[in-house]
Chains A and B, each alone.
Chain A
C-alpha cells in the first residue's frame, strides 16, 4: 500500500517538525533511567538484568503514549486538513494505519535509544539477552496497544487536551484491570466469568509474563488484537465524525 507509506512518511516528518518529538524522547530517556536507578534500585540489586527498567514501562507509557498519539486525528480536525486527507484517493483504513505506523515507528526509535541500558548490563555482568529482547518486543507491542487506544480517542475530538485525557484514562483502565483492587470491585457486582474477562484484558499481566522471558503466543496475540481492534474502531470513528 503506497498510500499508507506516503501518509506514514508525512506523519513521521511532522513529528520532528515540532518540539513534540524531542521533548518526548528526552523525557522518556530521562525518566525511564531515573526510575530504573533511583526507584527500582538497579545497583542495589546487584543483578545483571533489566527487569527494573521494564517494570516501569506501563506507567511511563500511560501518559507518554497519549502525548504522542493525541494529535493524530484531533489536529487534522482542528486545522481542517482532515477534509484534504479524506478527499484524496485514500481509504480511511490506509490513513488510520499510516498514521499509527508513523507514531509507532517514532516510539520504537525512542525505545531503541535506551540501548545504552542494555550495553551497561552487558558490561557489568552477563544478563539473559533473550529475556531482554523479549521484554523489548513486549514493551513495543504494549506501546502499540496504548497508541491504538489513543488514536481512537483522538478521532473522537478536535481538542488535543481532551484526546490526551481520554486516551490516558482508557489506557489506565486497561493497565489496571488486572489489579486486585479493580477485580475486587468487579467481583462485587459481576459474575465470575466477567471478572476473568476483565482480568484477562490487563496490559500489566500480559506484559509482566513477557518480561519474565516467557513469550507466550497468547500474550502476543492479545496485544496484536488490541491494536487491530482499536485501529478498526478508529476507522469507524473517523468515518462517522469527519464532517462534524
Chain B
C-alpha cells in the first residue's frame, strides 16, 4: 500500500535520501530506524506530500504522491515530527476543523469525533486550548488528527517522542491495534519500540537502506546472537574451558578476562541454534560450579550502532553547512 521506488531528495549538494526502494503492505507495521539526519523525516515528508521528491517515485494506495497528491493524501494519516498543532484552538475546535477538511458532515462528523476522542482518551481536555496541554496530550491530539478519517495508510514520525512510559505504552497499544488492517510506518529512536510494535524494521543511514528485516533477523546479524553465555568462578574457569572445548569447536568459544572473581565465556551459535543443552549437559557431567548460564539475544542497539557507526564519524547532521556532500544528511531531515 506504500511503495517507494528509487525515492531521492537532494538539498543542494546534500543527498538527504538517496534512492530508497521499499514497499509496505497491509498488516505491516514498519519501524523506520536511523540516526538523526539519516533521512527518516525527509522520506516521510515526501510520502506525505510535504516535500517533492528530487528523483524516483512514491505512491500511497497506488496514487503517486507527486502527480496525484490529493488522492494520496486522502488515504493517508500523517503525524509530522514534533506534532505541530494550531495552539490557539481548543482540541474540540481543532478536531472539528480536521473532520471538516476530511469531508465529514453533520451527524457522521459528531459520531466520528466522539469515537476518535474516545480512542485516544482526550475527553477531559476537549475544551482546553491546545497550547495549555501537556506534551502527552498534544501528541495524542496529533495522533487523533492523523487517525480521524480511519486511513488505510498511517505515517507517524516519532509518535512516542517525549511521552512518559505509561503514555508510550498506550500509544504502542494503539498502533499495534491498528496494525492488522493498515499499512503503518513509524519512525523511532527507541529500539525496544521496534520489538514491541513493529513487524518489520528498516534501518537507514545516509539516506540509504542499511538493513531490512524483522527485529529478530536484525539481531541475527550480531556475532553473539544466540550465543550461550556462561559465567563461572575464576577457580572453575579452566575446567569449564575444557568442557566447552569438548562441546564446541575452539573458534566458537570466547573467553573474557576475569573480573570480580568471575570468568565469562561465550559459545557462539552453530547454524543459528544455541548450543545450550550440550553446554549444560557437559557442565553437569563434570560437576562444575556455575554462576550463571543463559542464551544471549543481543540488543538492537548494538545492531543499530554496527550498521550506522560510519555515520557517527561523519559530521553529525546538526547544521546543513556542517554536512559534507556525502555526509550526514541535512538539518531538514
Residues of A within 8 A of B (CB): 2-3, 6-7, 9-10, 13-14, 17-18, 79-81, 83-84, 86-91, 242-244
**B65-107 interface (Cβ within 8 A of A):** 70-71, 73-74, 76, 78, 80, 82, 84-89, 93, 97-98, 100-103
A83 and B88 CA atoms in complex are apart in Å by 17
Query: Known contacts A83-B48, A90-B70; can you find 9 more A-B pairs with CB under 8 A?
Result: A10-B86, A79-B86, A81-B85, A83-B84, A84-B80, A84-B84, A84-B86, A87-B78, A243-B50
With A14-B89, A243-B45 known as contacts, the answer to whether A88 contacts B84 (CB < 8 A) is: no
Name the A residues within 8 Å of B152 (CB-CB): none
| In the bound complex, CA of A80 to CA of B93 (Å) | 19
Tell me if B207 is interfacial: C-beta within 8 Å of chain A: no
> A83-B50, A242-B50, A243-B50 known; A2 and B103 CB under 8 Å?
yes
Q: How many residue pairs, one in A and one in B, have C-beta atoms under 8 Å apart?
A: 70
Query: Is there contact, CB below 8 Å, between A13 and B89?
Result: yes
Q: How far is the CA of A9 from the CA of B94 in the complex (A)?
A: 11
Residue pair B80, A83 in contact (C-beta under 8 Å): yes
B39 at the interface (CB under 8 A from A): no
| 11 sample A-B contacts, Cβ–Cβ < 8 Å, listed by A number | A10-B89, A14-B86, A17-B89, A81-B86, A83-B48, A83-B80, A84-B80, A84-B86, A87-B76, A89-B73, A242-B50
Which of these, A9, A83, A88, contacts B73 with CB under 8 Å? A88
Residue in A2, A7, A9, A87 whose CB lies within 8 Å of B50: A87
Q: How many residues of B contact A (CB 8 A)?
A: 30
Q: Among the listed A81, A88, A243, which residue makes an inter-chain contact with B332, where contact means beta carbons less than 8 Å apart? A: A243
**Chain B 103-152 interface residues, beta-carbon cutoff 8 Å to A:** 103, 129, 145
Using A86-B50, A90-B101 as known contacts, say yes or no to A80 and B80 having CB atoms under 8 A apart: yes
Contacts of A244 in B (CB 8 A): 332
State whether A6 touches B332 (Cβ < 8 A).
no
Q: Does B49 contact A (CB under 8 A)?
A: yes
Residues of A within 8 A of B84 (CB): 79-81, 83-84
